[in-house]
Structure 1
């Protein structure tokens, strides 16, 4: 165990302390030597998070996870990866981004803040000097230097705000030189307004009008509501939107026409409508990944149970749920470059990472523990 330095702000406030521990983790598998994943873990009831570095070797079933405890970090956080860096997004009541080098996760290199209440949700990278950040509590898209934290520009989405004054930008994708921003447009968290996708031209960093024949700057109108995740697939040339739709008071998903997987054509800036509705997914859609023109996966469920379901992005057909994904909560699924799907399983009794082989949807390992806390996000 090693004790590391403590980062401080200019006012002397302690930002985070890091303690590195090496713990054995058994059963993880991936396709080639040296596959590495970075897993963000957290508790529901206490502050603090950990990052587990998962090193996997195909010839061995035993691997090592180095767990680094980030004290005083908001447990409501996400993790992203770009080039040689990891970025931890502190969301609700956090309003920070922590920058960490992959080769030394025990010593964060920077931490920068956004205005109180921003509630940052996503960061997407144009290059190492330019990234875009959106937050549910701000109508601005922040163009920043992602490592240094300098805010270069704010791009307002206020014209798309609903009756509570916010557009609620949640998730983003870059296609060519256009940034697509999913706007939930929930009113005090109630799903009552139509959702949109705003488009920003990254060459000019200004809003792009998707319908010049209509007065004013227009966004893409969605058929679904409450988009939580969007992802672009180069093979199909389409954007896939995971719309959570409505929830009802008991935590189950509502029977409506607003939940499901929606397809957007970035070439024409139009929605092609729902590909799959939430009834076919047995719950409100969550994290989504697209492997090919014929294979994608989506997490779905309600407050009691989450599952992962394979689907065909081309024709909307749905396969049987993946074996072993009956979890109380699956916040994220992710694909590595070797054809394996990683599932973050936050079950109360046996949380961990579950790995599947995309070729045949077979379960390879897991749930494998990533330390004392349950996994909430993963990056490569």
Structure 2
């Protein structure tokens, strides 16, 4: 009986931390990234059958889908408006890094009012990114910090901070149970298994490692980066760069597959693209199709036509091919947010590293709109369920967060929102 209760609790927790509907768009129950008449029809079908999809709950956000929701979606489709819905998040968390990259920090932003709730300088290393899992907020202190920290999402105070090994340069964190998480370590061939329940003592924090050296190139480092949990399989992006040749790709990219029940390497998915690093919130999982999306620039600066976004089937552990290339995008892909199976918003750079934020239709493999252009660094883009694309603009003469409507491409911020220091990475969610 005790085993049954334990298993039940674990399964509930697994549902909480498994890949969820990130980048779902209000009013888009068909999941293609656009609000169309077909979405109204899908909502009406849900209303008739008694089904539920948070993306279709737009009228009252009351936990039901009714004919009124379908009518509101149809109105949005006709007028080119993305409606509010039950699943829309309320806050953004922003890691901060001064323009000299010495001082770091963290801020929280109210998405509805587009205003800073609070910010703290100095609490995080400048090269930090954040993750949200099971109601908890974690900070990954990357190059030079080599730590994982838990942050109070209300006060932004650090609850605990533990090392993952000096010089290991952690890049991603995936929670699989209250006492178990995985940390990809860029400057190591060993994937770390950690216990985030140990608290401030950090005693026993590093539980085990998974050796990925067999998948590395000749320099011995696979350059493990972003991850995603699908069922009991952990997918880990490998860049496989040559450290003896200015970190140029030594081979094609790959996804290592780790069995989280045994902590053993279970396989590898060889990718067509090189250098898959174009995400800052883990590998993207499409909530409707279950497919994984891996993206990257390929060879930076020297070949603007390679790289792109590749789709992987996590069940068969096989690539389904590149769905949009650097040639289609017009440059090097450095970050993207999935709006649905038919649409992404992306940061694309040219040979001089000037950046553009573009709206991409995957069906036609074409850029449909340029939302902004900058000769300086655009660090991150994230899409809210409200259909607002949030951009971390590191233009040091006028830094801040900018928001754009993906319905018509208009900028919603008259001036960049300054969160206390220059913004670095974004995470949307309560």
Q: Could you state the TM-score of these two structures normalised by the residue count of structure 2?
A: 0.71
Give the alignment of 1:292-371 within 5 angstroms. Answer: 292-302=340-350, 304-314=353-363, 316-322=365-371, 324-326=372-374, 328-365=376-413, 367-371=415-419
Of 235, 241, 245, the residue aligned with 2:298 is 245
- The match for 1:233 is 286
- The match for 1:117 is 167
CA RMSD of aligned residues (A): 2.4
Question: Is residue 2:258 matched to residue 1:200?
Answer: yes
Structure 1 unaligned segments of length 5 or more: list them.
Answer: 1-29, 210-218, 248-252
Higher strand share goes to which structure?
1
Of 267, 273, 287, the residue aligned with 1:224 is 273
Equivalent residues of 2:305, 2:327 under 8 A apart: no
**Separation of aligned partners in 1, 2:111 and 2:320:** 40
- The match for 2:109 is 54
Structure 2 unaligned segments of length 5 or more: list them.
Answer: 1-82
Alpha-carbon spacing, 1:359–1:153, altered in 2? closer, same or farther (3 Å): farther
Alpha-carbon spacing, 1:257–1:268, altered in 2? closer, same or farther (3 Å): farther
SS in 2 for 1:362: coil
**Separation of aligned partners in 1, 2:197 and 2:381:** 25
Alpha-carbon spacing, 1:257–1:296, altered in 2? closer, same or farther (3 Å): closer
SS in 2 for 1:125: strand
Query: Structure 1 residue 112: deviation in Å?
Result: 0.5
Deviations 1:198-248 (A, max 9, x none): 111222221113xxxxxxxxx11111111103311122332111122112x
SS in 1 for 2:367: coil
Alpha-carbon spacing, 1:125–1:361, altered in 2? closer, same or farther (3 Å): farther
Alpha-carbon spacing, 1:315–1:200, altered in 2? closer, same or farther (3 Å): farther
Alpha-carbon spacing, 1:357–1:125, altered in 2? closer, same or farther (3 Å): farther
Query: Structure 1 residue 313: deviation in Å?
Result: 4.0
Query: Structure 1 residue 268: deviation in Å?
Result: 1.8
Of 127, 140, 145, the residue aligned with 1:89 is 140
Deviations 1:286-335 (A, max 9, x none): 1222121222212121453111222234553432221x343511222112
**Separation of aligned partners in 2, 1:98 and 1:130:** 14
- Higher RCO (CA 8 Å, separation ≥ 6 residues): 2
Equivalent residues of 1:327, 1:346 under 8 A apart: no
SS in 1 for 2:370: coil
Deviations 1:143-184 (A, max 9, x none): 222353622221110111111111110111122221111100
**Separation of aligned partners in 1, 2:89 and 2:236:** 34
**Separation of aligned partners in 1, 2:314 and 2:89:** 35
- The match for 2:222 is 167
Q: Which has the larger radius of gyration?
A: 2
Query: Structure 1 residue 187: deviation in Å?
Result: 0.8
Higher helix share goes to which structure?
2
Alpha-carbon spacing, 1:31–1:364, altered in 2? closer, same or farther (3 Å): farther
Q: Could you state the TM-score of these two structures normalised by the residue count of structure 1?
A: 0.80
**Separation of aligned partners in 2, 1:203 and 1:292:** 31
Alpha-carbon spacing, 1:367–1:154, altered in 2? closer, same or farther (3 Å): farther
Question: Is residue 2:128 matched to residue 1:69?
Answer: no
- The match for 1:273 is 321
- The match for 1:214 is none
